[in-house]
Structure formats: C-alpha cells, structure tokens
C-alpha cells in the first residue's frame, strides 16, 4: 500500500541488487537517478500508477536481468538504450500507453530468454526483423498494438518461440456479430499460435454460446466447458462470470493464472494454457483438455478402486512431484502454487497428472525476502 512518488535518492544505493516495488500505489515518473544503480539485476515496478517516459538512463544498468514496468501509465517511445542492458532475460512493458515503433536495438538483447512482452500499448510501425536475433527467446507477446506489415519471415528460425501477435484492428476486419464480441478498449485477447478471432468464433459455436450441456465442471467463479474445434482439437474452456460481478481477488486470480502460465515453459505435468479472452462481460481461459478430469472427482467416484489402484496413484504422485520440483527449482523465477489440492490436479487417459489453477500462485524473487498471504484450500494449506 505504498503511495506517493519514488524518491530520486534511491539512486544513491549503488550496491543495490534488487528493487521490487510492484503492486503498490506509486505515482509520478521513474527517477532518471535509477541509472546510477549499476549493481541492480532485478527491477520490478509493475502494477502501480507511474507515468511519464521510461528513462533512457535505465540503459546504464548493464547487470539488469529482470525488468518489469507493466501495468502502469508509462507513455512515449521505448528507449533504444534498453538494448544496452545486454544481460536482460525477462522484459515486460505491457499494459502501458507506449507509442512509436519497437527500436531495433532490442534485438541486441541476445540473452533475453524467458519473456519479451510489449502487449497492450499503442506501438506502431512494422515489427523489426532484428527481433529474430533473439534466438533464445521463448515467449514473445506483441498483441493489442497497432503494428502494420507482416510478421518477419526470419521468425521461422526461432524454433523455441511462442508468439502472440493480434490486434482489435483484426477484429474489425472480420465481421463478428456484435452480441458475440463487443468492440471495446477494455478487450484483451490472445490465443497463441492461432488466429485468435477465428478460435473465439469456433469456441462460441462449438459450445452453442456456452450452453450448460457442454459444461463439465463448475467452480467458485466460473464454469468449465468442453469444446470440439473444427480442426479436430478438443480444448477445455474456463469461462468466468463477468468481471463486473467478480471481486478484486477473482480478477487478480485471472491475471495471476495468465502471468504464471506464460512464464512457465512447457512441462508434461503442468497444464498447457493456449490463450485467453478478457472483457468486462465475458472472460475465459483456453487449456488443453484432460479426459479424466480432476483427481478429486475420481477419488470421490464409487468406482475409484478400479480407476485408480496403487500403481496409478504412485504415477500421479510422481507427476505432481515433478511439477512441483520444476516450479521451485527449474523456472527462471521460482513459483509457489499455494493451492495444490486434488481439485487442482487433472488426469488424462493414461492417468498422467497435470497441475493447474495458478490463480493464487506467487513468483519469488531470488536473494530477496518473500512472503505470501494465506491462500489455498482449507485442509491442504501447509501448516505454519
């Protein structure tokens, strides 16, 4: 609940390694004095009310590995000097009002691996061919901007890349019925590796506008539907109640789910998130479909002895253990799930377990004291 401006005197802390002030009520501009913090390797100022331009002086932070300025009111162009932060592995500037084109110098960030997220800004121009130099990059999100031209063909060489490039522009080009998708500046839409608008239409059609007969699960703030897409792929769609009817905690859970599963690289024991759609009246998440449903449902079934004998139970335990080990030790930013109950473990036909529901998950910053509020399902919360 920290308020007011960031004091420029912080620039005197030249030995500072981590500065994490996210999710507060900070206002004003980012002090240019930050450029003196040459020992800084982690700077997170996301989810505040900061405005003004991103200072060029941040380019002096040659040891910076994580930079998150998302969910503020920052404006102006992306400073080309960011390309001098050559150790950056994670760069997130989304949900601001940045404009201009992507500076080609961003292509110099050859160690950028975890994420480059410039989505939900007012960036324009063509997407620079230089971004293809980021050969280590795993996730690129440029959606909800005003780019022109085509996706650079050089991106084909980035074999590990998951890319999201979409816009409201494309929604206007497709003749979508108004009652299905209202045009609104509050829309947020991303279906990775697909034409997002087409998939939205397919999901609405496949579920007969989310008819209850396609509902396979009901949760505290939404329902889960099975959708058979025209491609033959089957997906699970978690449709939330309208954001107007959700409290702040549920809205934050929706954002946490997206944030966590976009940072997590593919793991066989963690459910795949294919994309999301967010609007004040309708929001949903698109996941891989797990045929056997939740572990909780199987354990409560009268035929559970025939479905889940001792050998399959050991297999489930191993799968969940592998997922936890990956989250805690192998992610670039360690993640604590905080609500690992039987209701949040899904099984496929081969009884392979996948952990899901990262709504209460927290990312931990190394070498910094971290704490979390009480979260999770009663009966599964780790004792204090």
CA distance 381 to 342: 12
CB 345 within 8 A of CB 294: yes
Element holding 249 (H helix, E strand): helix 248-263
In sequence order, the β-bridge partners of residue 237 are 225, 286
Q: How far is CA 68 from the centre of its chain?
A: 13
**Distance from C-alpha of 7 to C-alpha of 32, rounded to nearest angstrom:** 11
**Which residues, 6+ apart, have CB-to-CB distance to 111 below 8 Å?**
86, 87, 88, 89, 136
Q: Which of 230, 314, 221, 234 is nearest to 274 (CA)?
A: 234
Burial class (CB in 10 A: 0-12, 13-18, 19+), 77: middle
List Cα–Cα distances, 250 to 8, 61, 371, in angstroms: 35, 36, 20
Contact 72, 98 (CB under 8 A): no
Residue 280's SS3 state is: coil
Q: Minimal CA–CA distance to 106: which of 123, 95, 96?
A: 123
Q: 84, 117, 339, 357: which one is catalytic?
A: 339
Lookup: tokens for 302: 């009268």
* 68 assigned to active site: no
Catalytic residues: 339
């Amino acid at each position: 609940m920290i308020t007011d401006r960031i004091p420029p005197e912080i620039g005197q802390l030249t030995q500072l390694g981590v500065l994490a002030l996210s999710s507060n009520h900070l206002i004003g501009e980012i002090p240019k004095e930050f450029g003196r913090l040459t020992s800084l390797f982690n700077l997170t100022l996301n989810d505040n009310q900061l405005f003004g331009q991103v200072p060029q002086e941040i380019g002096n932070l040659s040891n910076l590995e994580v930079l998150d300025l998302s969910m503020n009111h920052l404006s102006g162009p992306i400073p080309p000097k960011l390309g001098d932060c050559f150790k950056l592995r994670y760069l997130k500037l989304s949900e601001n009002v940045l404009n201009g084109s992507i500076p080609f110098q961003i292509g110099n960030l050859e160690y950028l691996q975890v994420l480059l997220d410039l989505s939900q800004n007012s960036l324009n121009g063509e997407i620079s061919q230089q971004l293809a130099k980021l050969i280590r990059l795993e996730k690129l999100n440029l959606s909800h901007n005003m780019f022109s031209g085509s996706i650079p063909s050089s991106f084909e060489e980035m074999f590990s890349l998951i890319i999201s490039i979409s816009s409201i522009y494309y929604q206007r080009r497709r003749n979508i019925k108004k009652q299905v998708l209202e045009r609104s500046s509050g829309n947020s839409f991303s279906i990775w590796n697909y034409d997002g608008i087409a998939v939205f239409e397919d999901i609405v059609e496949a579920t007969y506008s989310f008819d209850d007969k396609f509902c396979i699960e009901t949760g505290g703030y939404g329902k889960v539907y099975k959708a058979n897409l025209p491609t033959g792929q089957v997906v699970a769609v978690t449709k939330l109640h309208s954001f107007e009817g959700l409290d702040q905690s549920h809205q934050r859970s929706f954002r946490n789910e997206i944030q966590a599963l976009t940072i997590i690289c593919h793991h066989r024991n963690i459910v795949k998130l294919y994309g999301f759609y967010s609007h004040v009246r309708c929001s949903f998440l698109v996941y891989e479909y797990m045929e056997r449903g939740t572990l909780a449902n199987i354990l409560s079934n009268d035929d559970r002895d025939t479905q889940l004998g001792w050998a399959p139970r050991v297999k489930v335990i191993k799968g969940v253990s592998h997922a936890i080990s990956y989250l805690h030790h192998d992610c670039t930013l360690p993640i604590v799930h905080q609500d690992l109950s039987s209701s949040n473990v899904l099984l496929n036909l081969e009884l392979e377990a996948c952990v899901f529901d990262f709504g209460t998950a927290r990312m931990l910053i190394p070498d910094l004291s971290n704490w979390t509020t009480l979260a999770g399902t009663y009966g599964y919360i780790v004792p204090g």
